[in-house]
């Protein structure tokens, strides 16, 4: 897209207008969780019976919009908490500031969190001083911080959107990656290729990544691997299948013994899911979790609380601007065969 300014204009500027027009006259099914700050990319977890949401904190930094998402120029994280869905939402203040991350350059993007033995781990992508996205980790004794970052990024990490999943056997895995501004296309066999073109039609779509975390939760215990998302015939998606192929925003949850890998298709704005039998996949594409929301990006998490399942997501209801988003939550339901009922964010 970078090499084709007309395609860039069409997809980045015109498509959201079209999608937003599709939703015109309809009402959102849920309201922003908070409105005093802009929040996005909600990674929700239940820790000690309470719900914690680890979102990006969108701001109007004044950075000009470009085709690598330079206007998503976030500088800190605020963690939200609530006792129950629909209950009072607390903003717990600044949990981590970019100025306290020694190796960070710019753009603190979508985080996630995990807990182990009473220590909370905040995982975050940020561009390093060479403008290359890496994934860092910070720790705290409290789920809402303040978090103390490690001096260097996680060795072997790259790209964006970490999602950390704890399996039933106590193992932790990190899923990550995002194309275009998320730079995943710059990496091949875990080696940096330098600035490359965005993936082109006719190519096999880029695949999300996984690595098991070490016991210390601050490093990978194995080499980063690709995870396969297959169509119903067992084939990998092509870049042309951009309404189904992986773009960014990985999430993993387990339901009735199956592994559900969900993700955003980016330029076609779907949140999709694929099911597998183990954390590494392969995963077979099953359908859409959430139809396109107002705005350009779509990013989510899925949790269970008190016997019900919930989808946390974002749109731009408050601002109408792609880079100033607000997080929301709605119930998610399964069919008897384990497939997910597609959610329409506006009715
Ligand atoms: O918030 C910045 C980026 O936008 C995230 O990392 C992507 O998932 C998209 O939501």
What kind of architecture, by CATH, is found in domain 5-240+293-332?
5 Propeller (2.115)
Beta strand spans in 59-196 (E): 76-82, 90-97, 104-106, 112-116, 119-128, 133-140, 148-149, 163-166, 172-176, 187-188, 191-192
Q: How far is the CA of 80 from the centre of ligand 1 (A)?
A: 18
Contacts of 257 (CB under 8 A, 6+ apart): none
Test site for ligand 1: of 133, 160, 294, most ligand atoms within 8 A of the Cβ: 160
The pLDDT value recorded for residue 13 is: 47
- Tell me if 110 CB under 6 Å of ligand 1: yes
Question: Over 50: is that where the pLDDT of 4 sits?
Answer: no
Which residue in the list 67, 248, 267, 315 is annotated as catalytic?
Answer: 248
Q: Indicate yes or no: pTM above 0.85.
A: yes
The pLDDT value recorded for residue 20 is: 60
The pLDDT value recorded for residue 301 is: 99
Confidence of residue 11 (pLDDT cuts 50, 70, 90): very low
Q: How far is the CA of 267 from the centre of ligand 1 (A)?
A: 12
- Separation of alpha carbons 203 and 224, rounded Å: 22
What does the pLDDT average to over 278-305?
Answer: 98
- Separation of alpha carbons 338 and 301, rounded Å: 18
Give the pLDDT confidence of 169-227 residue by residue, as tens digits: 999 999 999 999 999 999 999 999 999 999 999 999 999 999 999 999 999 999 999 99
Q: Per-residue b/e over 71-100, b at no fewer than 16 CB within 10 Å? A: bbbbbbbbbbbbeebeeebebbebbbebee
Sheet strands side by side (includes 229-230): 229-230, 283-290, 271-276, 258-264, 248-255
Catalytic site residue 41?
yes
- Separation of alpha carbons 76 and 92, rounded Å: 12
Beta strand spans in 14-75 (E): 38-47, 50-58
- Tell me if 121 CB under 6 Å of ligand 1: no
- Tell me if 262 CB under 6 Å of ligand 1: no
Nearest Cα to Cα of residue 125 among 101, 137, 139, 109: 109
What does the pLDDT average to over 82-101?
Answer: 98
Confidence of residue 25 (pLDDT cuts 50, 70, 90): confident
- Tell me if 184 CB under 6 Å of ligand 1: no
Residue whose CA is at the smallest distance from ligand 1 atom 2: 109
The pLDDT value recorded for residue 17 is: 53
Which residue in the list 41, 58, 73, 267 is annotated as catalytic?
Answer: 41
CB 25 within 8 A of CB 312: no
Confidence of residue 23 (pLDDT cuts 50, 70, 90): confident
Give the pLDDT confidence of 237-281 residue by residue, as tens digits: 999 999 999 999 999 999 999 999 999 999 999 999 999 999 999
Catalytic site residue 68?
no
Confidence of residue 7 (pLDDT cuts 50, 70, 90): very low
Q: How far is the CA of 29 from the centre of ligand 1 (A)?
A: 22
Question: Over 80: is that where the pLDDT of 19 sits?
Answer: no
Q: How far is the CA of 109 from the centre of ligand 1 (A)?
A: 6
Return the domain boundaries, the chain.
Answer: 5-240+293-332
- Tell me if 297 CB under 6 Å of ligand 1: yes
Integer-rounded Cα radius of gyration of the chain: 18
- Separation of alpha carbons 184 and 125, rounded Å: 12
Test site for ligand 1: of 40, 57, 179, most ligand atoms within 8 A of the Cβ: 40
Question: Over 60: is that where the pLDDT of 18 sits?
Answer: no
Residue whose CA is at the smallest distance from ligand 1 atom 8: 249
- Separation of alpha carbons 249 and 265, rounded Å: 9
- Tell me if 340 CB under 6 Å of ligand 1: no
- Tell me if 56 CB under 6 Å of ligand 1: yes
């Amino acid at each position: 897209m970078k090499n084709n300014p007309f395609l860039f204009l069409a997809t980045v500027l015109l498509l959201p207008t079209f999608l937003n027009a599709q939703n015109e006259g309809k009402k959102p099914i849920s309201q922003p969780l908070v409105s005093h700050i802009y929040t996005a990319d909600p990674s929700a977890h239940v820790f000690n019976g309470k719900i914690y949401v680890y979102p990006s904190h969108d701001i109007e930094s004044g950075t000009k919009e470009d085709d690598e998402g330079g206007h998503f120029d976030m500088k800190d994280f605020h963690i939200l908490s609530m006792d129950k869905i629909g209950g009072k939402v607390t903003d717990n203040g600044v949990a981590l500031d970019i100025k306290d991350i020694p190796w960070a350059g710019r753009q603190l993007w979508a985080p996630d969190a995990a807990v182990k033995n009473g220590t909370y781990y905040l995982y975050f992508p940020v561009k390093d001083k060479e403008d290359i996205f890496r994934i860092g980790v910070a720790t705290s004794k409290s789920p809402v911080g303040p978090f103390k970052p490690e001096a260097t990024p996680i060795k072997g990490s790259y790209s964006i959107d970490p999602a950390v999943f704890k399996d039933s056997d106590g193992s932790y895995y990190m899923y990550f990656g995002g194309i275009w501004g998320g730079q995943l296309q710059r990496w091949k066999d875990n080696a940096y290729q330098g600035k490359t073109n965005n993936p082109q039609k006719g190519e096999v779509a880029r695949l999300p990544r996984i690595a098991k975390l070490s016991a210390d939760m601050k490093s990978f215990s194995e080499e980063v691997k690709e995870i396969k998302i297959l169509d119903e015939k067992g084939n990998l998606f092509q870049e042309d299948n951009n309404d189904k192929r992986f773009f960014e925003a990985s999430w993993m949850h387990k339901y009735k013994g199956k592994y559900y890998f969900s993700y955003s298709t980016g330029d076609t704005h779907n949140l999709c899911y694929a099911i597998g039998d183990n954390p590494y996949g392969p995963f077979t594409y099953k359908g859409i979790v959430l139809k396109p929301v107002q705005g350009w990006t779509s990013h989510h998490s899925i949790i269970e609380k008190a016997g019900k399942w919930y989808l946390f997501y974002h749109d731009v209801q408050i601002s109408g601007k792609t880079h100033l988003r607000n997080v929301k939550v709605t119930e998610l339901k399964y069919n008897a065969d384990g497939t997910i009922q597609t959610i329409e964010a506006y009715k």
